[in-house]
C-alpha cells in the first residue's frame, strides 16, 4: 500500500516539471515519492491512530466494567465473553482489519460502525485522487505485479522477487524481460571471465592482448599443416624466422620441416629445437647454405662428429657458431674442428651443456683463435674441470667483447684472481660480462677487476653470486667515472646486498639502464625506493624484475611507474603486498600479482 | 577507374586485383594496412585517385584481405572474437600478401 501511494504520487508529480535547484537528497526523496506532505500525512495518521486506540481502550474498559456489573447481576451471559475475546484479537492483530472481526454484535454496533467509518475515511485520505480505487478492492486471489503494478493471474512461471522491501511476483511480460536481462547478465559475466583469462594469459607472455594480425593467422595455419608444405616461397625473412620459431616451440621442427628453411642465399640460420633433426638433415645445412655466416643450433644432441667435420670443411664464411647440447662431439672432434679452416675463422663461439668439451678442447680453441675471439660463452661445461686451463684465459683472450662464463663444474674453478687478470687484459673491449653461478667470486673482482679496467661495460650479470656484499658493490659504483653506465644489470639472488649498495648501483646507471633484475635481493626495503623517488629518474628503463623482494608494495609500484616513464614490464612474482589497486600508468604491465590469476 | 576524379577525402578507397576485380572499401578499413596507409597518406597517385592497383594479388586473395581488414575493424577492441577463417591452401599466398600489406 505504501508503495502504491508513492508510485501514484510519482506519476502525479511527473507533470509539474519546472522546479528550482534542489539537492541530491531532495531529488532522491522526490524520486522515491517522499515529500513533506506524505510525511506529514503519515505522522497525522499515526497520531490519530494512537488517539483512537486510547479512546477505544477507555471505551472498552468502561464497557467491561459495565458488563462486569451486569454480569454480576445476570450471570451466565456467554456471548459477552466471546465478544471480549474477539475484541482482544482485534486489538492485537492490527486495528485496521476489523471489518471481518466485528460482525453482528448488537451491543457494539455503534462502536463498530464508528470504527468502520473512520477506517473508510482513512482509506479515502490515503487513496487521494485514485480513481481506480486500487486499494479498496485489494483482496484475496488477486495479484499485482511488484514492478508494473499490473493485475495478473499468478502461475508457476511467475518470477518471485524481493524488491522495495517486499516480496512479490512479476507479471508475465515483466517476467520475460527480467529473465532475458538475467540471461544477458550471465552471458556478459562469462564473456568478462573469458576476457580476463585471455588478458592474464597474454600477460604471462609479457604482452598486452591484441587482435592477431593476418600474418599471425596465416602462420598458425601453416604451422598446423607444415607437413603438407612443399615450399615456403617468398614469405619474407621475418615470417620465415617466425614460423621456424613457432615450429620449434611446438616441437614439430623435424628433418623434413627444417628443409623448408634452407636456402642457398641464407647468411643466418637458427634452429631452436634440433632434437628431431637427424644427422643426415644436419649435414644438408652446409650443402644448401654454403654462405652461412651465423649458425645457431639449440638442443642439437643429434649433431654427429661427421657433421662437425663437414661444417669444418664447408662453411667457409662462418664467423658465429652457437651450439647448445652437442654431446656427441668428443674432445678429439672439437680439436679437429678448431684446427680446421672454418674453426680458425670463428670470431664468436658459444657453447652450452656438454660434458665432452674438455680442458684440452679449450686449449686448442684458445691456441687457434684465442686472440681473435670477440664473443665466448662457456656455460655448464662439466668437462672443463681444470683450474689451470681457466687460468689460461687471460693469456689468450685480448679482444673479447662478450664473455660468458657461467655455472662452472666446480665453483672454485673461477676465482677472483683469474677474473681480475682477465679484466686487466681485456677490460677496455669488454661490453658484456656474464658470470652467473660463479659463486666463488667475492668483492675483490668487483673492486680490483671491474672498477679500474672496464670503461665500456654495458651489460653485467652477477646472478647467484652470494658472496658479493654491500661493501664491494658500493665501492664499484661509487665514482666509477671511467664507465658511462650499464644498460643491463642482473643482480638476481645476490642475497647479501641491501639498500645502500643497490642505491649506489642505480645512481650510477640511472641514465643508461634499460633492463634491471633484482629478483630475490631480499635485503631491499621500501626506504631505497623512497630515496630513489626523491633523487633519481630512469629515462630508459623498460624492463624490471623485482620478484621476491617482499618489501615491494603498491606504493613502490606507483613510485616506479612515475620515476621510470618508459618502464613497460615489471615482474613482481612472490610479492604479496602488491595488489591490483596499485596506481600505475596504463602502459605498464605488471606481471605476477596474485590478483591476476587466471 | 570511373572514380579517379573523386575528392581526396572520399570515405571510400578502391582496391583493384590483378585480374581486374575492384573492391570498394572504407578508408578506415584500408588504413589498417600499413602499406595502404603509407600509399594513401602521401602524394602518390594512389592518394589523389583513391584507387590502388594490387599487382601481386588476385581477386580471391584480395577478397580475403578485405575480409580481414573489416574483421580487424570490427573486433579490434574486443577480446572474445571468432577465429578468422582461412582456407588451408590459401595460407602461404595470403602470408606473402599479408607480409606485403603489413597486416
- Closest CB from B92, B98, B103 relative to A233: B92
pLDDT at position B43, please? 79
The answer to whether A367 and A393 are in contact (CB under 8 A) is no
Residue A388 has what pLDDT? 94
Q: Which of A110, A106, A151, A156 is nearest to A132 (CA)?
A: A151
Q: Measured between alpha carbons, how far is A285 from A198 in angstroms, rounded to an integer? A: 39
Q: How many CB pairs under 8 A join A and B?
A: 61
pLDDT at A237 over 50: yes
How many other C-beta atoms lie within 10 A of the C-beta of residue A281? Answer: 20
The reply to whether residue B95 touches residue A215, judged by beta carbons under 8 angstroms, is yes
Mean pLDDT in residue range A557-584: 93
DSSP for A11-68 reads: HHHHT--------HHHHHHHHTT--HHHHHHHHHHHHHHHHHHHHHHHHHHHHHHHHH
Distance, in Å, from the CA atom of A383 to the CA atom of A387, rounded to the nearest integer, reads 12
| SS3 of A98-149 | HHHHCCCCCCCHHHHHHHHHHHHHHHHHHHCCCCCCCCCCCCCCCEECCCCC
User: What band does B7 get if pLDDT is binned at 50, 70 and 90?
Assistant: very low
Q: Which residue has the higher pLDDT, A119 or A535?
A: A535
Cross-chain CB nearest to B95 (options A194, A212, A239)? A239
Determine the pLDDT at residue A108. 58
Residue B57 sits in a domain whose CATH number is 3.30.710.10
Q: Identify from A196, A218, A228 which residue to disrupt to test chain B contact, counting B C-beta atoms within 10 A and taking the largest count.
A: A218
- pLDDT tens track for A420-470: 999 999 999 999 999 999 999 999 999 999 999 999 999 999 999 999 999
Digit-coded pLDDT (tens) for A178-218:
889 889 999 888 888 887 887 777 777 777 777 888 988 98
C-alpha cell at A263: 636456402
Average pLDDT of the residues in A559-569: 95
Q: How many domains does chain B have?
A: 1
- Contact list in A for residue B81 (CB cut-off 8 A) is 211
For residues A35 and A8, the answer to whether their CB atoms sit within 8 Å is no
Residues of B with CB under 8 A from a CB of A: 65, 68, 72, 75-76, 79-81, 84, 86, 88, 91-92, 94-96, 98-99, 101, 103
Contact B95 A213 (CB under 8 A): no
Chain B residues within 8 A of A199 when measuring between CB atoms: 79
The pLDDT value given to residue A437: 95
Strand order in the sheet with B51-53: B22-26, B12-16, B51-53
* Residue B44 pLDDT: 79
Report CA-CA distances (Å) from A467 to A21, A441, A464, A521. Answer: 73, 7, 9, 13
Chain A contact set for B82 (CB, 8 A): none
Pairing of strands B12-16, B22-26: antiparallel
Contact between A468 and A445 under an 8 Å Cβ cutoff? The reply is: no
**Cβ–Cβ of B81/A195 closer than 8 Å?**
no
- At A17 the pLDDT is 56
pLDDT tens, position by position, A124-163: 554 444 433 344 344 455 678 888 888 888 888 888 888 7
Q: Domain range for residue B96?
A: 3-101
From CA A426, how far away is CA A439, in angstroms rounded?
A: 22
Q: How high is the pLDDT of residue B11?
A: 87
Distance CA A223, CA A217 (A): 10
Model pLDDT for residues A355-380, shown as the tens digit of each residue: 999 999 999 999 999 999 999 999 99
| Residues A354 and A383: beta-carbon distance below 8 Å | yes
A470-479 per-position pLDDT tens digit: 999 999 999 9
Collect all residues of chain A within an 8 Å Cβ-Cβ radius of residue B29. none
Which strand (E) or helix (H) includes residue B60?
A: helix B59-75
Q: What is the pLDDT of residue A72?
A: 60
DSSP per position, A244-256: HHHHHHTT---HH
φ, ψ (nearest 5 deg) of residue A302 = -85, -10
Which contiguous run of DSSP H or E holds residue B75? helix B59-75
Asked if the model's pLDDT at residue A548 lies above 80, the reply is yes
Of the candidates B76, B79, B91, which has its C-beta nearest A222's C-beta?
A: B91
Element (H, E) at A333: helix A331-339
Residue A353, pLDDT > 90, answer yes
The per-residue pLDDT for range A92-128, each reduced to its tens digit, is 444 444 444 444 445 456 666 667 666 666 665 544 4
User: 166-205 in A: which are within 8 Å (CB) of B?
Assistant: 191, 194-195, 198-199
Q: What is the DSSP letter of A408?
A: -
* A179 grid coordinates: 529473465
pLDDT tens digits, A383-432: 999 999 999 999 999 999 999 999 999 999 999 999 999 999 999 999 99
A558 or A67, which is more confident? A558
A219:B95 CB<8 A: yes
- Average pLDDT (A22-37) is 76
SS3 state at A312? helix
Residue A244 to residue A261: CA distance in whole angstroms: 8
Residue entry with cell 683472450: A397
B75 contacts A233? CB cut-off 8 A: no
Counting Cβ atoms within 10 Å, is residue A569 exposed (0-12), middle (13-18) or buried (19+)?
middle
Q: Tell which residue, A150, A206, A190, A180, has the closest CA to residue A570.
A: A206
pLDDT at residue A18, as a whole number: 62
Reported as a single tens digit per residue, the pLDDT across B21-64 is 999 999 999 999 998 988 888 877 777 888 888 888 899 999 99
- Give the predicted TM-score (pTM) of the model: 0.67
- Cell numbers 643450433 correspond to what residue? A297
Instruction: Identify all chain A residues contacting B68, using CB atoms and an 8 Å cutoff.
Output: 214, 217
Average pLDDT, chain B: 85
How far apart, in Å, are the Cα atoms of A34 and each of A7, A42, A163? 10, 11, 17
Confidence of residue A552 (pLDDT cuts 50, 70, 90): very high
Q: What are phi and psi of A543, to 5 degrees?
A: -140, 135
Quote the cell numbers at residue A249. 616451440
Cell 456471548: give the residue.
A79
Specify the DSSP class assigned to residue A88.
H
A84 has a pLDDT exceeding 70: no
- Find the closest chain B residue to A232 by CA distance: B92
Amino acid at each position: 500500500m505504501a508503495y502504491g501511494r508513492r508510485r501514484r504520487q510519482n506519476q502525479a508529480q511527473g507533470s509539474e516539471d519546472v522546479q528550482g535547484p534542489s539537492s541530491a537528497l531532495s531529488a532522491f526523496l522526490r524520486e522515491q515519492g517522499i515529500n513533506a506532505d506524505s510525511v506529514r500525512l503519515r505522522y497525522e495518521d499515526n497520531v490519530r491512530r494512537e488517539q483512537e486506540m486510547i479512546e477505544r481502550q477507555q471505551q472498552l474498559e468502561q464497557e467491561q466494567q459495565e458488563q462486569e456489573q451486569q454480569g454480576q447481576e445476570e450471570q451466565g451471559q456467554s456471548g459477552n465473553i466471546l465478544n471480549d475475546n474477539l475484541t482482544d484479537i482485534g486489538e492485537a492483530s492490527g486495528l485496521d482489519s476489523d471489518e471481518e472481526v466485528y460482525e453482528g454484535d448488537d451491543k457494539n454496533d455503534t462502536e463498530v460502525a464508528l470504527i468502520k467509518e473512520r477506517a473508510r475515511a482513512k482509506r479515502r485520505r490515503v487513496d487521494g485522487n485514485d480513481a481506480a480505487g486500487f486499494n479498496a478492492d485489494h483482496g484475496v486471489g488477486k495479484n499485482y505485479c511488484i514492478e508494473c503494478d499490473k493485475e495478473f493471474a499468478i502461475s508457476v512461471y511467475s518470477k518471485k522477487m524481493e524488491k522495495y522491501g517486499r516480496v512479490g511476483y512479476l507479471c508475465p511480460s515483466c517476467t520475460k524481460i527480467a529473465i532475458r536481462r538475467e540471461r544477458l547478465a550471465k552471458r556478459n559475466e562469462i564473456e568478462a571471465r573469458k576476457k580476463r583469462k585471455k588478458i592474464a594469459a597474454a600477460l604471462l607472455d609479457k604482452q598486452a592482448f591484441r587482435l592477431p594480425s593476418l600474418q599471425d593467422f596465416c602462420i598458425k595455419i601453416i604451422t598446423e599443416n607444415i607437413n603438407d608444405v612443399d615450399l615456403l616461397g617468398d614469405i619474407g625473412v621475418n615470417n620465415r624466422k617466425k614460423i621456424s620459431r613457432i615450429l620449434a616451440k611446438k616441437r614439430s621442427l623435424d628433418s623434413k620441416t627444417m628443409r623448408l628453411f634452407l636456402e642457398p642465399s641464407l647468411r643466418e640460420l637458427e634452429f631452436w629445437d634440433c632434437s628431431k633433426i637427424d644427422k643426415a638433415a644436419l649435414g644438408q645445412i652446409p650443402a644448401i647454405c654454403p654462405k652461412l655466416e651465423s649458425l645457431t643450433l639449440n638442443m642439437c644432441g643429434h649433431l654427429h662428429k661427421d657433421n662437425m667435420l663437414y661444417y669444418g670443411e664447408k662453411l667457409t664464411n662462418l664467423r658465429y657458431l652457437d651450439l647448445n647440447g652437442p654431446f656427441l662431439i668428443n674432445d678429439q672432434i672439437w680439436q679437429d674442428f678448431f684446427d680446421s679452416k672454418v674453426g680458425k675463422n670463428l670470431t664468436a663461439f658459444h657453447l652450452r651443456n656438454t660434458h665432452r668439451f674438455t680442458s684440452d678442447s679449450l686449449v686448442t680453441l684458445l691456441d687457434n683463435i684465442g686472440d681473435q675471439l670477440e664473443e665466448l660463452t662457456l656455460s655448464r661445461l662439466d668437462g672443463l674441470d681444470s683450474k689451470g686451463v681457466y687460468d689460461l684465459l687471460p693469456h689468450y683472450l685480448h679482444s673479447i667483447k662478450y664473455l660468458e662464463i657461467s655455472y662452472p663444474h666446480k665453483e672454485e674453478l673461477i676465482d677472483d684472481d683469474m677474473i681480475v687478470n682477465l679484466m686487466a687484459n681485456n677490460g677496455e673491449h669488454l661490453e658484456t660480462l656474464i658470470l652467473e653461478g660463479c659463486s666463488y667470486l667475492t668483492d675483490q673482482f668487483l673492486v680490483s677487476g671491474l672498477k679500474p679496467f672496464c670503461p665500456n661495460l654495458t651489460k653485467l650479470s652477477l646472478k647467484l653470486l652470494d658472496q658479493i656484499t654491500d661493501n664491494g658493490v658500493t665501492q664499484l659504483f661509487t665514482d666509477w667515472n671511467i664507465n658511462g653506465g650499464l644498460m643491463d644489470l642482473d643482480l638476481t639472488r645476490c642475497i647479501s646486498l641491501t639498500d645502500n649498495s643497490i642505491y649506489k648501483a642505480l645512481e650510477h646507471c640511472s641514465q643508461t639502464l634499460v633492463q634491471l633484475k633484482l629478483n630475490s635481493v631480499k635485503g631491499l626495503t621500501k626506504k631505497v625506493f623512497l630515496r630513489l623517488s626523491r633523487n633519481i629518474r630512469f629515462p630508459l628503463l623498460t624492463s624490471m624484475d623485482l620478484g621476491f623482494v617482499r618489501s615491494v608494495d603498491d606504493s613502490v609500484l606507483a613510485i616506479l611507474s612515475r620515476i621510470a616513464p618508459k618502464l613497460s614490464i615489471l615482474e613482481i612474482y612472490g610479492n604479496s603486498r602488491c595488489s591490483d589497486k596499485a596506481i600505475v600508468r596504463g602502459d605498464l604491465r605488471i606481471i605476477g600479482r596474485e590478483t591476476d590469476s587466471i | 577507374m570511373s572514380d579517379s576524379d573523386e575528392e581526396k577525402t572520399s570515405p571510400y578507397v578502391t582496391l583493384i586485383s590483378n585480374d581486374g576485380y575492384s573492391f570498394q572499401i572504407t578508408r578506415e578499413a584500408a588504413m589498417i594496412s600499413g602499406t595502404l596507409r603509407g600509399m594513401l597518406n602521401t602524394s602518390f597517385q594512389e592518394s589523389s585517385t583513391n584507387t590502388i592497383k594490387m599487382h601481386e594479388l588476385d581477386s580471391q586473395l584480395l577478397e580475403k584481405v578485405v575480409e580481414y581488414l573489416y574483421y580487424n575493424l570490427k573486433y579490434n577492441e574486443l577480446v572474445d572474437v571468432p577465429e578468422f577463417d582461412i582456407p588451408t591452401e590459401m595460407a602461404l599466398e595470403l602470408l606473402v600478401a599479408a607480409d606485403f600489406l603489413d597486416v
